[in-house]
Amino acid sequence: MAWLPSRAAASEGLDPPTQFTTDLSNRLSRGHRAHAAAVFCGLYDDSVSLEERSMNPHRRRQLILYSLMALGESWPSPHAFAASDADFMAVIASPLRSEDDRKADENRKPLALLRFAQLQAGMTVLDISAGGGYTTQLMALAVGPRGKVWSQLEQPRPALDQRLAEHPQANIEVLLRPLEDPFPAAAPRVDLVTLVLSYHDIAYAPVNRSRMNRAIFAALKPGGHLLLIDHAAKPGHGLSDVKTLHRIDKRTVRSEIESVGFVFEAEADFLRNPKDRRERAFFDMTTPTDRFVLRFVKPCRGGRPGPCSG
């Protein structure tokens, strides 16, 4: 029998899971609530023990939801459960991703990227200078249908258009906007901004980077993060290699990002290559470049680094 939301729940504008929980609480006894919630979560299978189901990370979270619903508790927030490696591996294995993406995975390390980005279902992401959409699609799959990814470009990119035409994703919105004003002021603030392998290009383009960085800062919620990846130049080279070698000095990037209010939070080494002498552009190399991966946080109101409350 199909479940239909009550008029009361519908009138309150509740989403289906919350409607479901509310109506169960109103209509069913405690025991019946447990049974119905288990069916809703796909857990009702007498041939599998509760212990066996709880070994699967997806089932474990469903069991938590089952318990909450059985007790008449409210539906958890979209960020209630941290994503696991099993979740991320499912994202990476998604049939929506292209064969070119899978070939690129060896050098781009998507599992380590998703871990470092601290992605969770329901989050919102702004992907700056999105290119062909490798990062955009990965993030959209990770945040799921309750999350959203805005993919910013200054001009249309056929590769991204083709990607979305072949595998449409309702939680991706393409923004054709200038880098100095990459996100609509009226849009909700986001949890994460990604800027991957493009800052060096922006550095030799006619772009006011300080204005762009302030706009990125403004696009984030307090406590939100900026994740920035780029090809590393030799220390002390500043901006001198941005056009010739397509590399940029990590210290220069940090200085520019921190100057607009960001606080440096962490650096990851999963894309480092100590054998790279940093004397060639990435397209002239047969091995991966040495790349830095930086995470910055927008402080909470009052200057305190995230997470923020209230």
Q: Tell me the helix, strand and coil percentages in the chain, rounded to 5.
A: 40, 15, 45
Q: What sections of 177-237 are H helices per DSSP?
A: 199-203, 209-219
Q: Please say if the pLDDT value at position 200 is more than 70.
A: yes
Question: CA-to-CA distance for 33 and 29, rounded, in angstroms?
Answer: 6
The pair of structure tokens assigned to 211 is 């204005």
- pLDDT for 95: 95
Measured between alpha carbons, how far is residue 181 from residues 7, 152, 209, 224, 227 in Å? 43, 10, 11, 18, 18
Share of the chain above pLDDT 90, in %: 70
Q: What sections of the chain are H helices per DSSP?
A: 7-11, 16-27, 30-40, 50-55, 57-70, 85-92, 99-108, 110-117, 134-143, 158-166, 199-203, 209-219, 250-258
Are the CB atoms for 106 and 83 separated by under 8 Å?
Answer: no
Measured at the alpha carbon of residue 241, what is the angle toward residues 235 and 246, in degrees to the nearest 5?
110
The pair of structure tokens assigned to 202 is 């922006």
Query: What structural domains and CATH numbers belong to the chain?
Result: 7-70 (no CATH), 85-297 (3.40.50.150)
Amino acid at 55: M
- pLDDT for 44: 38
Residue at token pair 């069991």: 63
Task: Tell whether the torsion through CA atoms of 196, 199, 202 and 207 is positive or negative.
Answer: positive
pTM of the model: 0.75
Question: CA-to-CA distance for 197 and 55, rounded, in angstroms?
Answer: 38
Mean pLDDT for the chain? 82
More confident residue, 9 or 83: 83
Q: End-to-end CA distance of the chain, in Å?
A: 41
Are the CB atoms for 124 and 194 separated by under 8 Å?
Answer: no
Q: Across residues 28-48, what is the average pLDDT?
A: 41
Task: Give per-residue pLDDT as tens, 245-274.
Answer: 999 999 999 999 999 999 999 999 999 999
Task: Give per-residue pLDDT as tens, 206-227.
Answer: 999 999 999 999 999 999 999 9
Q: Across residues 264-285, what is the average pLDDT?
A: 96
Counts of helices then strands in the chain (DSSP H, E) = 13, 7
Instruction: Label residue 301 by pLDDT band (50, 70, 90).
Output: confident
Measured between alpha carbons, how far is residue 40 from residues 7, 17, 49, 233, 302 in Å? 20, 10, 17, 53, 43
